[in-house]
Amino acid sequence: MIQDVLREPAKAAIFLVADVRPGSEASVRDLLADLAGLTRAVGFRAPGDQLSCVVGIGASLWSRLYRAPAPRDLHPFRGLSGARHTAPATHGDLLFHLRARRLDLCFELERQLMRRLAGHVRVLDEVQGFKYFDERDLLGFVDGTENPAGAAARAALAIGDQDPAYAGGSYVIVQKYLHDLDAWQALPVAEQERVIGRSKLSDIELTDQAVNSHVAVNTIVDPDGTERQIVRENMAFGSPGAAEFGTYFIGYAGTPEVIERMLRRMFVGEPAGNHDRILDFSTAVTGSLFFVPAADFLENPLDNSTSDGSLGIGSLKRSSR
Ligand code: HEM
C-alpha cells in the first residue's frame, strides 16, 4: 500500500531533510516502522485536519538500512547547469513530508519524530510551509491546478512493472527555491502571466503560450501523445523580516525520470537555451531525490531478516532485470 501521498491540498506542511549518524541505522529503521502509528496518535486528536506524513529514503542510506537490493531508479539527485541557471544537488538521507490543515499538528508530529531521532540524525534543512490565500504561491499564482487526480494521480505516482519488487512505492524530488520578489513585482501582471502561462486572477491557462513559460516547459508529451504527469504539493515559505521568500517544490512520480526531464527542460532547455522564465526570478538552493517505500515495507522490515536477525533480502528478492 502506498504511503499517504495523495491528499487534498494541505494548508500547512513541514519539510525535514536529515542525515543519519553512523550506528543509528537500527533506531531509524524502528522509527520508520512506527511512523504510521505515531502519525495516527498525533492526528487522531484532530479528526478532519488530515495530518499525514510521508517518508523518503535517499540513495546513500538505503543499503545502510535494508539488505534488500536498492529500488531500481534510486540514485542521488543529479544537479544541472544550464547557460543561465543551476540546480544544485544537496545531500539528504531522509525526507519527512508532513502535511495538515493546521501547522500545529505538523509541528507536534515533528516534535515527536525528533524525540525519537535525537542523537541519531543531523537535520540539514527544516522548512515550515503554508498555502498563501487561495492555493497561491508567493509569486501570487494559484499553484497545483493541473495536478492529476484520482486514477491518473495513482498512475503517475506508482512504480509499475519496471520494478515489481517495489510496487506500491514511489519517488520524490524536493528543491527549495528563493524568489527575487522585488524583480518579480516590478513586472507588469500581463508579463508575469506570460512567465507562468496562466492568468493571475482567474488561473485560466493562456491560449497563446510562450515557449519558455513554466506551463509550456513542464508539459511533457510522449511521441504516442501520452502526457507524463507528476504529483506536486508545493508550499510557500519565508521570513519577511529577513527578506526571504520562497517556494518549496516537491514532486512525486513512479519514476524520477519524468521529473528529471522537466528539470532538464527548465534549467538547460529543450532546445538548449529555452530555459523556464520562472528561473529568472527563482533560485534553486537545494535538490535531493528519495525513494518512497510502500507503507507495509516500512512497517515490516523484519520480514526480510535473516536467521541472525539482521536484515536480508527475503521476500524482496528482485526479479531479474
Ligand atoms: C519556483 C518554483 C515553482 C513555482 C513557484 C511553481 C509554480 C507553478 C504554477 C503557478 C503552476 C501553474 C498551476 C498549476 O498547474 O499548478 C505550475 C505548474 C506546473 N509546475 Fe511548477 N512551480 C515551480 C517549480 C516546478 C518544478 C521544479 C517542476 C518540475 C520539476 C514543476 C512542474 C510543474 C508542472 C508539471 C506543472 C503543470 C503544467 C501543466 O500541465 O499545465 N514546477 N507550477
Which residue's entry shows cell 512505492?
169
Model confidence at 8, pLDDT cuts 50, 70, 90, reads confident
Residue 311 Cα to chain centre, angstroms:
27
Give the residue whose CA is nearest to atom 4 of ligand 1.
247
Closest CA to 172 of 33, 1, 3: 3
Of 235, 295, 279, 244, residue with least CA distance to 16: 235
Q: Span 13-39, mean pLDDT? A: 96
The residue whose CA has the least distance to atom 21 of ligand 1 is 214
Specify the range with the lowest mean pLDDT, choosing from 73-77, 82-86, 105-109, 160-164. Answer: 160-164
Query: From the centroid of its chain, how far is CA 317?
Result: 27
Q: With CA atoms as reference, report the closest residue to 35 among 16, 7, 48.
A: 16
Ligand 1 centre from 107 Cα, in Å? 26
Residue 305: its pLDDT value, please?
35
Residue ranges around ligand 1 (CB below 6 Å) = 137, 139, 141-146, 175, 177, 196, 198, 214-215, 218-219, 230, 232, 234, 247, 249, 251, 259, 262-263, 278, 282
Atom of ligand 1 nearest to the CA of 215: 38
- Give the pLDDT confidence score for residue 194 in this predicted structure: 98
In DSSP terms, 19 is beta-bridged to: 122
pLDDT at 98 over 70: yes
Q: Which atom of ligand 1 is nearest to the CA of 136?
A: 10
Mean pLDDT of 123-149: 96
Instruction: Name the nearest CA neighbour of 66 among 321, 317, 319, 258.
Output: 317
Residues contacting 186, CB < 8 A, separation 6+: none
Which pLDDT does position 302 carry in this prediction?
Answer: 59
Asked if pLDDT for residue 134 goes beyond 70, the answer is yes
- Is pLDDT at 238 greater than 50 in this prediction? yes
Query: Which pLDDT value is given to residue 306?
Result: 33
More confident residue, 224 or 7: 224
pLDDT score at 142: 97
Asked whether the predicted pLDDT for residue 51 surpasses 90, the reply is yes
The Cα–Cα gap between 316 and 67 comes to: 9
Please give the span between the terminal C-alpha atoms of the chain, in angstroms, as a whole number.
23
Mean pLDDT of 90-95: 98
The C-alpha cell of 134 is what? 487561495
Give the per-residue pLDDT at 303.
60
Residue 221 has pLDDT above 70, yes or no: yes
Asked whether residue 233 carries a pLDDT value surpassing 50, the answer given is yes
Question: Would you call 116 helix, strand, or coil by DSSP?
Answer: helix
Task: Give the pLDDT of residue 316.
Answer: 41
Instruction: Please list the active-site residues.
Output: 143
The closest residue, in CA terms, to atom 26 on ligand 1 is 249
- Residue 321: the pLDDT is 31
Closest CA to 235 of 119, 134, 136, 146: 136
Instruction: Report d(CA 73, CA 163) in Å as an integer.
Output: 9
pLDDT tens string 252-263: 999 999 999 999
Cα 278 to averaged position of ligand 1 atoms, centre (Å): 9
Which candidate, 38, 72, 46, places its Cα nearest to that of 257?
A: 72
- pLDDT at residue 133 in the model: 93
- pLDDT 10s digits, 272-319: 999 999 999 999 999 999 999 999 999 887 564 333 334 443 334 333
Would you place residue 172 in the very low, low, confident or very high pLDDT band (cuts 50, 70, 90)? very high
d(C-alpha 232, C-alpha 267), whole Å: 18
Contact 237, 130 (CB under 8 A): yes
Query: Looking at 76-85, 146-155, 300-309, which range is the least confident one?
Result: 300-309
Contacts of residues 155-162 at CB distance under 8 Å and 24 or more positions apart, as own/partner, are 155/254, 156/228, 156/229, 156/230, 156/231, 156/252, 156/253, 156/254, 156/258, 157/2, 157/5, 157/6, 157/231, 157/252, 157/253, 157/254, 158/2, 158/254, 159/71, 159/254, 159/255, 160/254, 162/72, 162/255
Q: What grid cell was written down for 182?
A: 522585488
Of 218, 268, 282, the one to substitute when testing ligand 1's pocket (max ligand atoms within 8 A of C-beta) is 218
Assigned C-alpha cell, 52: 499525514
The protein residue with its alpha carbon nearest to ligand 1, atom 11, reads: 143
Residue 9: the pLDDT is 87
Which whole number is the average pLDDT over 63-90? 96
Question: Which contacts of 46-50 are long-range, i.e. CB under 8 A and separated by 24 or more positions?
Answer: 46/100, 46/102, 46/105, 48/101, 49/100, 49/101, 49/102, 49/105, 50/7, 50/8, 50/10, 50/99, 50/100, 50/101
Q: Is residue 1 very low, low, confident or very high in pLDDT (cuts 50, 70, 90)?
A: confident
Instruction: Among 193, 206, 232, say which to mutate for ligand 1: greatest number of ligand atoms within 8 Å of CB.
Output: 232
Residue type, position 105, single letter: L
Atom of ligand 1 nearest to the CA of 173: 30
Pocket residue to mutate for ligand 1, from 192, 229, 249, 280, most atoms within 8 A of Cβ: 249
For the residues 88-93, what does the mean pLDDT come to?
A: 98
Q: Find, among 233, 249, 238, the residue nearest to 53 by Cα.
A: 233
